[in-house]
Amino acid sequence: MKLFLYLKMLKLNIKNETSRLKAVVLGIANSNGPIPSLEEAYDPKSIQHIKMGTYPKEKDMVLEIEAVAAVLNKYDVQVYRPKVIEDYNQIFSRDIAFVIEDKLIKANILPDREKEYEAIEHLTRHINPKDIIVLPEECHIEGGDVMPWNDYIFIGTYSGDDYSDFITARTNLKAVEEIRKLFPEKKVKSFDLRKSNTNPKENALHLDCCFQPIGTEKAIIHKNGFLIEEEYNWLVNYFGKENIFEIDKDEMYHMNSNVFSISEKVIISEKNFTRLNTWLREKGFTVEEVNYSEIAKQEGLLRCSTLPLIRD
């Protein structure tokens, strides 16, 4: 009954990436389904591991994601989970929707993944329908490309004429323009990302695969993830070079920018990100380390598997 009452009063509030987290949807790895065929894979890193025979096992991914749930519980975060769909990948909840201010925007995701949004309808029915936005069909967008940052909304995109040739191009310029119309008081800043269907070290699947703000004024970034150097330079100038942690191509491949902030001081990070985690602690952050190396084989990590609903 308590959960029902809480959901009846669910008031969304997301103004940035790092304010104190109060409620989140965390993906699930249960009943994740069989290893996909090469034709069913959505990204070059998954394809690589399918070919190598190293695609992650369900039991390992369940352990990894439940370790994140334990950290969130430690910090008194209200954790919601999708309903389990048999033999269906539901790990990356960030892809299916995102919150800006008090609005939940349903992502226009790959058609094969539509059921993932349906699996959180037990939550969305407790949000005021006026606060749920469904974009026009021609607007392609996924939550990993969208970052509210106070007065700004940062959005990763791909503007090339060959957009339709890339399974890794998930957010188009029409969606950027629609977000600009929906939030006219915000400064919407888009960034063209490098895409590859075959080389995971040359592919920024989403903006959070090559960039993420942390704390109040710092950021993690990978230069080669950006197609236009001026757009990369804008971010470096905005945050200040002294506040930037630059990651190399291998660190981007292992998803070093895809950590997750519980607050401006507390970050969940992968335990093997030794260089990053050392830097974070030197800068005064509390780093909660988890093993997420198996889930990372699907070209997604901690931010990808979390959908924040409420931050203070």
Nearest in space to 144 (alpha carbons), one of 231, 226, 223, 207: 207
Q: Which two tokens stand for residue 237?
A: 């100038």
Does pLDDT of 127 surpass 60?
Answer: yes
Of 108-122, 231-245, 266-280, 283-297, minimum mean pLDDT range? 108-122
Confidence of residue 1 (pLDDT cuts 50, 70, 90): very low
How many CA atoms are closer than 13 Å to the CA of 79, on its beta-carbon side? 20
Does pLDDT of 120 surpass 50?
Answer: yes
Q: Phi and psi for 177 in degrees, rounded to 5?
A: -65, -35
CB of 5 closer than 8 Å to CB of 60 = no
Does pLDDT of 5 surpass 60?
Answer: no
- Give, rounded to a whole angstrom, the gap between the first and last alpha carbons of the chain: 24
Q: pLDDT above 70 covers what percent of the chain? A: 97
pLDDT score, position 125: 94
The average confidence (pLDDT) of the chain is: 94
pLDDT score, position 7: 53
Cβ neighbors of 310 (< 8 A, separation 6 or more) are 10, 11, 12, 13, 14, 21, 22, 23, 78
Q: Which two tokens stand for residue 273?
A: 């990100």
Over residues 16-59, the pLDDT tens digits come to 999 999 999 999 999 988 898 998 887 899 999 999 999 999 99
Over residues 87-117, the pLDDT tens digits come to 999 999 999 999 999 999 999 877 777 889 9
Q: Per-residue pLDDT averaged across 196-215, rounded?
A: 95
All domains of the chain in start order, with CATH: 9-311 (3.75.10.10)
